[in-house]
Chains A and B, each alone.
Chain A
Amino acid sequence: MNRYRRSIRSELACAALALLVLVIASPARAQDATYIGEAKCVVCHVEQKPNFAHTAHAKAMRANPANELQAKVCEACHGPGSRHVKNSEDKSLIIGFTRSWGTPIETQNSQCLACHKGGQRLFWSGSTHEMNRVACADCHNPMAKISDSSSLRKASISETCETCHAQQRTEFRRRSHMPVPEGKMSCADCHNPHGSVTRPLLKADSVNELCTACHAEKRGPFLWEHAPVRENCTNCHVPHGSNHDKLLVAARPFLCQQCHSPPVGHPGQFYRADQTAAAAIQGGTQSARIIGRSCVNCHSAVHGSNHPSGTRLQR
């Protein structure tokens, strides 16, 4: 048993030592490199030069670098290149931003954050994307002007997000949806992919604050409030798209009945197929709760009413 324990201890010690060597040795290799200047970089990287020239990074760094680091242009992001020039096969000697180069994600991102920290990236640390080890270069490609702004990997923000978020891409193609596929909105109108103080990376501090940034008329406050509306728009609406009208979570009147079933009146009644306008032709009995706008045929001010008689949201 003792020998077994000693063996375990030895193995753990070896593993710890190996880890220590790895930790200490890895970053040291590029640390003693020095800056060589953009002119030397483009001697080899001929193909990158003309594409990079059109990018915001090139223009800003060449003409108006904000600091000494930015003035290094290529090496501002890739790190000093003297050792890389001598041995271009050793990938540890220069920072790369592609999969094949293998630079750790944390190293890559820290290079970007050297200039881009703060601002909208204040909450990057611990955000969903950071936890999934998403690299800046997964969304951005500063080496060529693919997009009109933001140095994206695709032509637009939404196409960039949809690279990974296929589920959301489908949701935006449903019957009712936000005008994202039509180019009138982008994911970044609602989300900050770099992190926020809300779970779904919202740009506002609550769902309602976000929605009413565009749907300002529904902000109120109203004389007669509709409780779930006041609290959270997503109680009734899905944010991306729905097979129902108005991005509703479910078909009316059944959606409304998920909260309303009082003992007096109609909300708890069993609504069914013999109450459509078509069924009425064949002997059924029409119901205003089934046809057209359903419950909203009467409760038209469903988001809240400022009419003194608007308790039931009818005016």
Chain B
Amino acid sequence: MNSPTRLRSIISIILAGTALAQLAALPVLADSAVGVDTLPPGNALNTGVARATPDADPEASPPKRSPIGRLYDWTYRPREDARSFGGGWEYTVDVEAGGLYTSGDDEHILFRRYKDLDSGLYLRRFTFEADQADDGDFFSVIGGSPGYDDQYWQVSGGRHNVWKATAFLNETPAYFTSNFRSLWSGAGSDYLPLLNMTPGGLATAAATQAALRTELAGTGDSTLSLTRTKYGARFDFTLNDKWKAYASYSNEEREGARPYAMVFGGAGGGGNIEIPESIDYDTMDMLAGIQYVDPRNAFNLQLSASMFRNDIDTQTIENPLTITVNTITGIPATAFTTARFDQYPDNDFLKAKAEFARQLPKFWNGRLTAVVAMTRSEQDDGLIAPTTMALTGGLINGISTANVWNTTGALSDSSPETQIDTTLFSLGLAVHPGRSLSLKADARYYETDNSLEYRACNPLTGQWGRLTNDGSGGSFVNTPAYLAAACDLDAVRALGIVPSAGNVPIAAVPYEYEQMNYSLLADYRGFGNSNLSLRLEREEFDRAYRERASTEENRIKLGYTNRGFERATLLLSYEYTDRGGSGYVVEPHEEFMSATMGPGPTTGNVASWFHNIDTFRKLDMADRRQNILNARVNFLVTETLDVALSGQLRDVSYPDSDYGRRSADQTSVSLEANYQPSATFGVWGGYTWQTGDMSQRGLQANACAIGATYYFFSNGAINTTGVPPAGTSLVGSTPVTVANFHDACGMSGPLSPLYPTSRSWDNEQQDDYHMANIGLRYDVKRLALDVSYTYVLGRTEIDYRYNPAALGLTAVQVAMIGSGMPDQVMEVSTFDVGLEYRFSETVSTRLFARHEFGRIRDWHYDGVAQNPVPAVNAAYLDAGPDYRYDASLFGIFMRVQL
């Protein structure tokens, strides 16, 4: 981070501006809608047709339109029969209770998303609202689905405009899969023993594969899910017409299990199997703040704290595989009976934020805004030993592993003691030099500061690198001369000895960045009911330890709105952005890698000394051009019919990215209509089409050995013998030497030994989405009918191009590979009907029916149900969602309104 001068200037400006504004500060009324929990909460049967709509008022005037030209909802018949229980209190009750019945494929993951729809008695929703009109006191209880996993409650009371207290409970189920064949018991706990399989596997991997297949054939599907239960309370106080204060507390518990995975061995994997991950989280959030507003000033101060606690510090799970051991010798594969995961660490987050605004009426009716915010995110979860095994009898690069890895003494530090601090300064000034012209300038500075320091060296052995996957693998710098330096990196470097490999991480990377945003805005409103705006923005990013030290993105945005048409409203905007930056460095982490422990190599395979292709660009730092066009037209076709047409064209290219993401385009078009011809009848519908293309290019690396000569042939094939494959001719050759290996192998090209362009591949992903919906509402006398139909189709087509000869693929393989992956498809139709019959003003009955059917296909899961163990040491227990489903939901409710 090297922009101290700029930072100092910004801080000075902001502090000066804030100080000046504070000097003239006067006393406001404000609200306090802060925090992430929307209140009141709800659930799936409290939305759309499933939700009982209020009674239409047949005597009501036709709906009016909002200023942008969209019809408001019908006017509903107001409740004028509130009951009284003395003291001036009046109350209303609205309860809808009955039963639910589900049928068909009601366990399907799409049908159950974020909702609990089990058959049984069901209290769909209840409200109790009481008001004392004279004093403005109120009390209310709102809730739904008590006892179900998507229940919600809110109790609130207070005095309007004076104080309010609210307590809430909100549960959300999340279903990940209903087709998980678990081999373990104890899901949800910190130790998962195998039910029937042998920990560590059988004598051979093949025998284990057979046993696994047999076991899985007899294992039923189970569901992995978790439930998020959040409860809390909030208090709001209006101290006077200028000051408000609020405080809230909430706690969220997440319990359950979700799909996870376990791997053994080395980098390529010596065995992998899906497992359940136990989830038992608690997150406590506290928030307090004050808000002040007067005719000239507004001020917000907010303090917040969030404490995340993971009640499963580590998860140990028994291993059914006969793994392939890597790096370590002398320890049999069957000894690796368990794996231990260090789950998400406890963390604390603290934040203080102050916001200020001041009107400057004598300065072109200006307005100054300033924000200062600081956060601290920290964790100090004690580190665990690399393995629980003694590893007696084992050797890594000739050094005994006995009792030197199963202790935290094997770590350079027993605790990470890491924290990330962020700082935000923002300053804005808006002025209005004339009635029709507004100008605004903003500057925003945001930085993260990461204090992380950790080195991967075992003080007990002096070995740099890490023992991986409980000891079944390793990634070490195998340079014996380093051992004497005993984890002293400076001493190691002073030796001047070539490390055995260049790509072994030897220290943690404290990623951090600074972000600066500037914007200038001009808005001209001198055309009557239209306005034209121009916004210029610049974003500067300075990143530590990433491929680009800095990037700058310039943006220009033109906006135009016109509300002057008698029967239309038009909104248009066009945006162009251009991102560039400093030189791209493909080895940004060198100081954290073994490559910097000594001089470069002079012999052997040197591929590990390269980090990436020279023309590969990571998408978040690559040069980028964007064109974005947004348009919306609301047509006021008749007094009772709205039609809206909206769309977005987004064209994104990465002009400097030969490899990596190269483009990402998206087009969206929506057409909506709403017809409300009477106070009791309406029809609405819409259709949205979205399509997107994303292209990328990769390269399957070859090899780079000093002393070898690489020969390139006309069909793209490469070898080191110089013997042309049949039917090809020699195109060229590249000898790799100590003198040229950096250039010869580091850059891609037709004759690059490591990155030959013939081994590149292109991948294009095209997404298409269609969504159509139509709804109807019709009230006739005592009957109210609600109907809706929604159709959603999402399809992702992935095509690729490659050179089979260069990649060494056979004709049989090519026939199977084809030109792309099977399409990923999700298609869902949902038909909802609600029919309410009113027996009286207070009692009605309501029938609700949903029929939902669809299909989902994801090639990641193709064949997993039939072939869960497709290779030795590879097992997949989640068969993914069932392809088709057809499920129904019926509800019958009595509704009482008092």
Asked if A43 is at the interface (CB within 8 A of a chain B CB), the reply is: no
Q: List 20 A-B contacts (CB under 8 A).
A: A116-B31, A118-B293, A132-B559, A144-B78, A209-B375, A216-B281, A220-B377, A220-B418, A222-B379, A223-B454, A243-B795, A257-B698, A261-B659, A276-B860, A277-B862, A277-B870, A285-B871, A298-B263, A306-B383, A308-B410
A199 CB to nearest B CB, Å: 8
A251 CB to nearest B CB, Å: 6
Assuming A243-B826, A251-B765, is B867 touching A308 (CB within 8 A)?
A: no
Assuming A284-B816, A293-B274, is B349 touching A205 (CB within 8 A)?
A: no
B75 touching A47, Cβ below 8 Å: yes
Other-chain residue from B261, B468, B821 in contact with A273 (beta carbon distance below 8 A): B821
A119 touching B66, Cβ below 8 Å: no
Other-chain residue from A123, A170, A184 in contact with B670 (beta carbon distance below 8 A): A170
Most chain-B Cβ atoms within 10 A of its Cβ — which of A64, A118, A250? A118
| Closest residue on chain B to residue A98 by CB atoms | B64
How many angstroms from the CA of A126 to the CA of B379 in the assembled complex?
Answer: 38
B802 CB to nearest A CB, Å: 5
Assuming A67-B241, A223-B383, is B308 touching A315 (CB within 8 A)?
A: no
Other-chain residue from B73, B859, B871 in contact with A146 (beta carbon distance below 8 A): B73
In chain B, positions 667-714 with a C-beta closer than 8 Å to chain A are 668, 670, 672, 686, 688, 690, 694, 696, 698-701, 704
B648 touching A300, Cβ below 8 Å: no
In the bound complex, residues from chain A placing their C-beta under 8 Å from that of B428 are 123, 126
In the bound complex, residues from chain B placing their C-beta under 8 Å from that of A138 are 66-68, 70
B825 CB to nearest A CB, Å: 8
How many angstroms from the CA of A46 to the CA of B452 in the assembled complex?
Answer: 67
How many angstroms from the CA of A307 to the CA of B456 in the assembled complex?
Answer: 11
The stretch among B215-223, B439-447, B478-486, B888-896 that forms the contact with chain A is B439-447
A64 touching B161, Cβ below 8 Å: yes
The stretch among A4-12, A34-42, A83-91, A161-169 that forms the contact with chain B is A161-169
Asked if A239 is at the interface (CB within 8 A of a chain B CB), the reply is: no
Asked if B338 is at the interface (CB within 8 A of a chain A CB), the reply is: no
1/0 per residue, CB under 8 A from B, across A117-159: the answer is 1111111011000011111011101001010111001111101
Asked if A200 is at the interface (CB within 8 A of a chain B CB), the reply is: no
In the bound complex, residues from chain B placing their C-beta under 8 Å from that of A291 are 860-861, 864, 870, 874, 876
B272 touching A297, Cβ below 8 Å: yes
Assuming A219-B349, A307-B342, is B115 touching A182 (CB within 8 A)?
A: yes
In the bound complex, residues from chain B placing their C-beta under 8 Å from that of A259 are 618-619, 660
B306 touching A235, Cβ below 8 Å: no
The stretch among B40-48, B394-402, B725-733, B835-843 that forms the contact with chain A is B40-48
Asked if A258 is at the interface (CB within 8 A of a chain B CB), the reply is: yes
A282 touching B816, Cβ below 8 Å: yes
| Closest residue on chain A to residue B790 by CB atoms | A173
B670 touching A166, Cβ below 8 Å: yes
Assuming A118-B357, A156-B42, A277-B862, is B870 touching A64 (CB within 8 A)?
A: no
| Closest residue on chain A to residue B241 by CB atoms | A66
Asked if A108 is at the interface (CB within 8 A of a chain B CB), the reply is: yes
| Closest residue on chain A to residue B764 by CB atoms | A254
A213 touching B698, Cβ below 8 Å: no
Assuming A167-B668, A297-B272, is B68 touching A189 (CB within 8 A)?
A: no
How many angstroms from the CA of A300 to the CA of B571 in the assembled complex?
Answer: 45
A175 touching B868, Cβ below 8 Å: no
| Closest residue on chain A to residue B572 by CB atoms | A132
1/0 per residue, CB under 8 A from A, across B403-434: the answer is 00000001100001011101010101010000
In the bound complex, residues from chain B placing their C-beta under 8 Å from that of A306 are 342, 344-345, 379, 381, 383, 416
Most chain-A Cβ atoms within 10 A of its Cβ — which of B34, B244, B660, B870? B870
How many angstroms from the CA of A304 to the CA of B159 in the assembled complex?
Answer: 47
How many angstroms from the CA of A109 to the CA of B379 in the assembled complex?
Answer: 45
Assuming A153-B72, A166-B688, A254-B798, is B283 touching A216 (CB within 8 A)?
A: yes
A254 touching B765, Cβ below 8 Å: yes
How many angstroms from the CA of A14 to the CA of B31 in the assembled complex?
Answer: 46
Closest 5 CB pairs of A and B: A278-B863, A63-B136, A119-B30, A118-B293, A118-B298
In the bound complex, residues from chain B placing their C-beta under 8 Å from that of A254 are 696, 763, 765, 798
B478 CB to nearest A CB, Å: 15
B858 touching A197, Cβ below 8 Å: no
In chain A, positions 210-229 with a C-beta closer than 8 Å to chain B are 212-214, 216-225, 227-228
A262 touching B807, Cβ below 8 Å: no
How many angstroms from the CA of A63 to the CA of B535 in the assembled complex?
Answer: 45
In the bound complex, residues from chain B placing their C-beta under 8 Å from that of A106 are 525
In the bound complex, residues from chain A placing their C-beta under 8 Å from that of B106 are none
In the bound complex, residues from chain B placing their C-beta under 8 Å from that of A30 are none
A17 CB to nearest B CB, Å: 15
How many angstroms from the CA of A60 to the CA of B864 in the assembled complex?
Answer: 61
A190 touching B36, Cβ below 8 Å: yes
Asked if B632 is at the interface (CB within 8 A of a chain A CB), the reply is: yes
A117 touching B293, Cβ below 8 Å: yes
How many angstroms from the CA of A64 to the CA of B159 in the assembled complex?
Answer: 8
